[in-house]
């Protein structure tokens, strides 16, 4: 795209790495799951189109520009296209909070043209959190998921996942997901959240491209599983996988719509509803509610 320099060398490296790992992962899935072929086919568009950059403002903005550029060129935007950069100069977290996306981290976004109906569409963010957590645990890092989709190690933030609905100029709806994981990068001394890098956890530098490739092939499976959930009208497998990778169940935590500006309320975490809503008990009123937005922090 205009003004952006693609990292063609990295694209080749990643595509080769993904193909090798995909073969190994798919063979394991075929051996275990009788419906593996159908599930993998529904998720195989993830990463089939891969764009690497040295530096961008935001990968999620690059994704939006890609969609609009496709329209200009009278092309169809490829659902599952991934955009990855070494440096993101204006990275943001939830509520437009600044995120430091320096060289050495894993920063990528991808687009999905949703092929499932609401409420199954809410399973996509869960599937991404599961894929990231499973890949990290596979390389020996015991990361957990904190609702909505923070990646946590010993109460320190390793990474975060954003999701955004984008209505294109042609009034077509896309989902855009952004992932940021602190791998080998450092942080400014002014950072006001307890963050940690994988390098700090393990004591050694990690291969960022290998981690990305692992996440990608896990994501192919779990996005396919979202389609399988709609087909069978059964979400239990995805919900149980998410609960397996979280450490907040049964805990008391602080909740607010925006933790930076809203009053915090103490809640007890009871579970997830069938489509990812967080079931909590408010400790001040004993009222049980299901939450679909907001944030949690540890007490």
Compute the distance between CA of residue 124 and CA of residue 194 in angstroms, rounded to an integer: 27
* Predicted local distance difference test score (pLDDT) of residue 101: 73
| Residue 148: pLDDT over 90 | no
Does 34 score more than 90 pLDDT?
no
Q: pLDDT tens digit string along 118-131?
A: 999 999 999 999 99
Q: Is the pLDDT of residue 271 over 70?
A: yes
Helix crossing, 208-232 with 123-138: angle to 10°? Answer: 140
According to DSSP, residue 242 is labeled H
SS3 assignment, position 151:
strand
pLDDT at 95: 60
Number of other residues whose CB lies within 10 A of the CB of residue 263: 9
Residue 3 pLDDT > 80: no
What pLDDT is attached to residue 149? 86
pTM: 0.93
Whether the predicted pLDDT of 99 surpasses 80: no
Looking at residue 31, what is its pLDDT? 81
Position 52 scores a pLDDT of 98
Summarize pLDDT for 199-250 with one digit per residue, the tens. Answer: 999 999 999 999 999 999 999 999 999 999 999 999 999 999 999 999 999 9
What does the pLDDT look like over 151-198, one tens digit per residue? 999 999 999 999 999 999 999 999 999 999 999 998 876 766 788 999
What pLDDT does 94 receive? 67
Distances (CA, A) of 221 to 25, 38, 107: 9, 10, 21
Domains of the chain listed by start with CATH number: 8-244 (3.30.930.10), 252-298 (2.30.30)
Position 93 confidence tier, pLDDT thresholds 50, 70, 90? low
Position 10 scores a pLDDT of 96
């Amino acid at each position: 795209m205009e003004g952006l320099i693609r990292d063609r060398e990295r694209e080749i490296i990643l595509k080769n790495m993904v193909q090798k790992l995909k073969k190994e992962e798919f063979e394991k899935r075929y051996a275990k799951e009788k419906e593996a072929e159908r599930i993998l086919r529904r998720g195989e568009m993830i990463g089939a189109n891969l764009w690497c950059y040295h530096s961008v403002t935001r990968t999620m903005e690059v994704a939006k520009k890609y969609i609009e550029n496709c329209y200009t060129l009278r092309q169809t935007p490829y659902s599952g296209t991934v955009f990855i950069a070494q440096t993101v100069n204006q990275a943001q977290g939830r509520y437009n909070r600044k995120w430091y996306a320096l060289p050495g981290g894993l920063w990528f976004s991808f687009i999905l043209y949703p092929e499932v109906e609401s409420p199954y569409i809410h399973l996509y963010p869960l599937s991404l959190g599961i894929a990231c957590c499973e890949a990290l645990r596979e390389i020996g890092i015991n990361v957990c998921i904190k609702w909505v989709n923070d990646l946590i190690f010993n109460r320190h933030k390793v990474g975060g996942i954003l999701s955004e609905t984008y209505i294109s100029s042609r009034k077509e709806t896309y989902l855009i997901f952004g992932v940021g994981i602190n791998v080998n990068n450092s942080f400014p001394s002014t950072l006001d959240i307890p963050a940690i890098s994988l390098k700090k956890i393990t004591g050694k530098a990690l291969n960022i491209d290998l981690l990305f490739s692992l996440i990608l092939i896990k994501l192919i499976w779990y996005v396919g599983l979202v389609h399988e959930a709609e087909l069978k009208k059964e979400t239990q497998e995805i919900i149980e996988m998410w609960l397996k990778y979280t450490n907040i169940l049964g805990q008391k935590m602080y909740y607010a719509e925006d933790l930076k500006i809203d009053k915090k309320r103490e809640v007890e975490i009871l579970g997830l509803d069938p489509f990812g809503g967080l079931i909590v008990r408010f400790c001040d009123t004993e009222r049980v509610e299901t939450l679909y937005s907001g944030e949690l922090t540890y007490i």
